[in-house]
Structure 1
Amino acid sequence: MAKPYISLRPEITRTHALTLMDWMEDERVTRYLSDASSVSRFIAQAVDRAQLPILTHLFNQGGRFFMAYDRNDIPVGFVRLVKSGTECEIVLVVGDHDNWGRGLGWSAIREGLKLAFLDMRAECVIAKIHPNNTRSVKGFESCGFLPKLRTPTLTHLAMTADRYLQLLREGAMTDSSRICVTEIDRARLLRLIEVEEEAQQVDLKHEIERAIVVEPQHVARDVVTMNSRVVLNLDDTQQEVTLVYPHDADDPSRKLSILSEVGTAILGYQEGDSIDWLVAERTRRICVEKVVYQPEAFGDLEL
């Protein structure tokens, strides 16, 4: 059975809005959603008043809104992040009840936490859940949230940035295989992240933080490190690429920047590993078939 997979995407279209309206009309979905009526009213007004095909700007008023897609690129829910000061509230809905119990909520929580902590720079993420909504309470607790406040009408659960990074480094925040990076690659990549403005750096920071860090001379020979040449299978299409820093990237030579979607995806994986990753706004299956050349294996530690 495939592991749960969710990608969060910021673009909201009129079609998405209509799907959201259908979800909000299902009492099983809205039963424990405290602001269900206001959300439904807002969506209806957005559809009626705005004639544009893209409604993203309307949904991002007062927070950041993301559609949640499954592995088959089908919308299954949404995540809303509302930051106030150093705290960020997360609101999560899996819209189609047929998808309940598949672990999609857990996956969506982890993706929301990645954005809240690594992109929005929150110091604490809060989830406010009706105490009778035991499925959601258990889902957030299984992701590492701890009780903060309980009232008859709401259970407040919290995750701090320090706790998030600890769980991430322990491998508790992902279903993916653990990855390895060398001490040298990690230091260089963290410096790169500090000066880069590209959105892809959020995913790269996430991968670096969750990676097992090893000395260059101790990394396994079949691990993808920086400047490795690798044979990939991307949705059943084979290609050979070299993973490089942005200033060395060159499409005709198949030199792939670490800040590209595929480049970030393959860092630290081994021969035989497969990864589901969002590439050009759709989910792709990436398989690492062979590490043809790895600098560390050849003693080329200065690359």
Structure 2
Amino acid sequence: MKKPFVSLRPEITRTHAQILMNWLEDERVTRFLSDSRSVSRFIAQAIDRSPMPILTHLFNQGGRFFMAYDRNDVPVGFVRLVKAGGQCEIVLVIGDHDTWGRGLGASTIREGLKFAFLDMRAECVIAKIHPCNARSLKSFQRCGFILGPETPTLNSLSMPAGRYLQLLREGAMADRGDIYVTEIDKVRLQSLMGLEVVTSMELEHEIERAIVVGPRQVAENVVTMNSEVMLRLDDEREQVALVYPQDADERSGKLSVLSDVGTAILGYQEGEAIECMVAERTRRVVIEKVIYQPESSGDFHL
């Protein structure tokens, strides 16, 4: 059975708004949403007020709004992140009730945490859940949230940034398998991420969760920096070299580690398959063969 896959996308169109309206008219979806009526009214007003096909700016007022998609690029829910000072509240709904029970809620929570901590730089993320909403409470606690104050109408759960990073490094925050990064590659990649002009939430996430090994101990079938790899993207085969941004040249098959596919394959082993977002759609990437790896060839200077 495939692991759940969810991607969060910020663009909201009029079509998305209508999908949201349909979800909010379903009593099964809105049963535990205290503000469902006001949200529904806001969406209706947004559709009427703006003739534009893109409504993203309206949905991002006072916070950040994302549509949640499954691996088939079908919208299944939404996430809203509202940050005040160092604290960020997460509101999450899986609107397609046909997908309930498939683990999409937990995957969506983990994607939301990635944005909250690694993009918005929150110090703590909180969730406020109705005590009768057992499914949501279980999902948030499974993701590592700590149950706090309880009232007859509301349970508060929290995730401090330190706990998030700890769980990430322990492998508890990933829907994907383990990845391996050499000590040298990690230092270089962290230096790259330290540059103000370079920001990549996905790369930072992968570096933080990676298992760090010595360059002489890394398995020869692992994709390290400057490795040459034969990939299959959906049904297309392509040979690429995973390089630092300054060496990137897609026409020559030199793929930047900051690119969608470059970040996705870092640290994985030959034969593994990864699903990732590429140009706003989900692609299945299979690492067919590691043709060349600097460490296994003794090229430790690369």
TM interval, shorter chain, is: over 0.9
For the residues of structure 1 that align with 2:147 and 2:239, how far apart are their CA atoms? 48
- Mapping of residues 141-156 of structure 1, within 5 Å: 141-156=141-156
The letter of the residue matching 1:133 is N
Distance in 1 between residues matched to 2:94 and 2:172, nearest whole Å: 22
Question: Following TM superposition, where does structure 1 have runs of at least 4 consecutive aligned residues deviating by more than 3 angstroms?
Answer: 196-199
Report the counterpart of residue 72 of structure 1 in structure 2: 72
Cross-structure match for 2:266 = 267
- Matched residue type, 1:135: R
Q: Does 1:175 align with 2:196?
A: no
Runs (5+) with no aligned partner, structure 2? none
In structure 1, the residue matched to 2:49 is 49
- Take 2:216 and 2:98, find their aligned partners in 1: how far apart are those partners? 49
Give 1:208's aligned residue: 207
Instruction: Find the counterpart in structure 2 of residue 290 from structure 1.
Output: 289
Which residue in 2 is equivalent to 1:9? 9
**Distance across 1 between alignment mates of 2:295 and 2:3:** 32
* AA at the equivalent of 1:16: H
Cα deviation for residue 197 of structure 1 reads 3.8
Instruction: State the distance in 2 between where 1:223 and 1:272 align.
Output: 10
Report 1:75-114 matches (<5 A).
75-114=75-114
Aligned mates of 2:289, 2:56 — CA distance in 1: 41
Q: Which residue number corresponds to residue 137 of structure 1?
A: 137
With structure 2 as the length reference, what TM-score do the two structures score?
0.99
Aligned to 2:239: 240
Equivalent residues in 2 for 1:20-31, closer than 5 Å = 20-31=20-31
Identity %: 70
Alignment of 1:245-264 (within 5 A): 245-264=244-263
How much does 1:236 deviate? 1.6
Alpha-carbon distance between aligned partners in 2 of 1:74 and 1:240, rounded to the nearest angstrom: 30
Q: Report the Cα offset of residue 175 of structure 1.
A: 2.2
RMSD across aligned positions (CA): 0.8
What is the alpha-carbon distance in structure 2 between the residues aligned to residue 55 and residue 198 of structure 1?
28
Q: Any idea what the Cα deviations from partners look like across 1:12-69, whole Å, max 9, x if unmatched?
A: 0000000000000011101101111110000000001100000000000000000000
The answer to whether residue 52 in structure 2 is matched with residue 18 in structure 1 is no
TM-score w.r.t. structure 1 length? Answer: 0.98
> Secondary structure of 1:121's match?
coil
Distance of 1:197 and 1:48 partners within structure 2: 39
The equivalent of 1:128 in structure 2 is 128
SS state at 1:127 partner? strand
Pairing of 1:160-199 with structure 2 (within 5 A): 160-197=160-197
The one-letter code sitting in structure 1 at the alignment partner of 2:192 is L
Alignment partners' CA distance in 1, 2:250 and 2:71: 28
**Partner SS, residue 277 of structure 1:** strand
Equivalenced residues, count = 302
Distance across 1 between alignment mates of 2:106 and 2:242: 31
Find the residue that maps to 2:117 and give its secondary structure: helix
Deviation string 1:221-268 (CA, Å, 9 cap, x unpaired) is: 000000000000000211100000000001221000000000000000
> Which residue of structure 1 aligns with residue 217 of structure 2?
218
Shift of residue 194, structure 1, vs aligned partner: 1.3
Superposed CA offset, 1:181-218 (max 9, x none)? 0000001001101115455x100000001100001010
Whole-angstrom CA distance in 1 between matches of 2:246 and 2:176: 29
- Is 1:63 the equivalent of 2:63? yes
One-letter identity of the residue aligned with 1:243:
L
Distance change >3 Å, CA 273–CA 58, structure 1 → 2:
same
Counterpart residue number, 1:35: 35
CA shift for structure 1 position 2: 1.4
Which amino acid in structure 1 is aligned with residue 252 of structure 2?
Answer: S
| Stretches of structure 1 lacking an aligned partner (at least 5 in a row) | none
